């Protein structure tokens, strides 16, 4: 029964490279159809739950931008990967607790989940203290779902004002549409809000809807399952 668990089978390696190529092709086609430059869309490979060996297969296939949901998990995997491949860029996609701000600022190149004034203040303080300046996106709760993180659309203007007041440069917006709704409405809302605020980064689109997101102006699609396969279901209480 002793298999080497760290050994990624040759088939899986080929699979990851092939899936990345498929996703890149679909992004290019969707961009071209929308009259956009395919190079204006960044593929963020969402590697949460996948071990470092699997992530390295994506790196070997040329992928450089990765997304993770949890600070602790990313911290266990990415320092070594980034040491070996300094051009790897890491995005935080999940909720950030104030007590993890220091670690997050040290590790991530982009934090996509700025979602409340307290967090904005903690980030401004830590960035000032450390001199490290990850790029920041504000997560918008476009579906106004009570269980979901993000600034409500109606509160975005004052929140952006607050960020400016405390010297926090925001580069763009991110959203996760409700699972049971047509994402197009949400993509349109986010793209519109980004334009209104003069923000150039629009992070939207996941495995099931990234082509639609590209048509609506997404600059960063976050694709997990379509590259790495289905994740194990999180244990529920």
Ligand X SMILES: *Cc1c(COP(=O)(O)O)cnc(C)c1O
- Give the residues lining the site for ligand X (CB under 6 A): 46, 48, 69, 93, 176, 206-207, 222-226
Q: How far is the CB of 233 from ligand X (least distance, A)?
A: 12
For ligand X, which residue has the nearest CB? 224
Give the C-alpha separation, 178 to 182, whole Å: 8
Q: Which two tokens stand for residue 91?
A: 């995005």
Q: Which two tokens stand for residue 118?
A: 């307290």
Give the C-alpha separation, 63 to 56, whole Å: 9
Residue with Cβ nearer ligand X (113 or 159):
113
Residue with Cβ nearer ligand X (165 or 181):
181
Give the C-alpha separation, 112 to 54, whole Å: 23
The phi and psi torsions of 140 (rounded to 5 degrees) equal -110, 130
Q: Tell me the residue length of the chain.
A: 237
Q: How far is the CB of 128 from ligand X (least distance, A)?
A: 27
Residue with Cβ nearer ligand X (23 or 193):
23
Q: How far is the CB of 53 from ligand X (least distance, A)?
A: 19
Residue with Cβ nearer ligand X (77 or 222):
222
Q: How far is the CB of 207 from ligand X (least distance, A)?
A: 3
The phi and psi torsions of 204 (rounded to 5 degrees) equal -160, 150
């Amino acid at each position: 029964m002793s298999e080497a668990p760290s050994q990624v089978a040759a088939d899986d390696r080929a699979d990851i490279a092939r899936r990345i190529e498929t996703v890149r092709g679909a992004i290019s086609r969707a961009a071209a159809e929308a009259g956009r430059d395919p190079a204006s869309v960044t593929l963020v490979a969402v590697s949460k739950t996948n071990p470092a060996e699997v992530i390295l297969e994506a790196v070997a296939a040329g992928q450089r931008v990765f997304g993770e949901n949890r600070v602790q998990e990313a911290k266990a995997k990415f320092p070594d990967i980034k040491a070996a491949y300094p051009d790897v860029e890491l995005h935080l996609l999940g909720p950030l607790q104030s007590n993890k701000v220091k670690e997050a600022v040290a590790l991530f190149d982009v934090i996509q989940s700025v979602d409340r004034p307290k967090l904005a203040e903690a980030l401004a303080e830590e960035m000032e203290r450390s001199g490290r300046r990850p790029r920041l996106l504000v997560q918008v709760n476009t579906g106004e779902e009570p269980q979901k993180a993000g600034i409500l659309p109606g509160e975005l203007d004052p929140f952006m004002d607050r960020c400016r007041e405390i010297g926090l440069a925001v580069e763009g917006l991110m959203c996760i549409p409700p699972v049971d709704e047509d994402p197009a409405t949400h993509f349109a809302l986010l793209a519109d809000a980004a334009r209104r605020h003069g923000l150039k980064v629009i992070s939207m689109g996941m495995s099931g809807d990234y082509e639609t997101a590209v048509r609506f102006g997404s600059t960063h699609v976050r694709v997990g399952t379509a590259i790495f396969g289905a994740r194990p279901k999180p244990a529920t209480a």
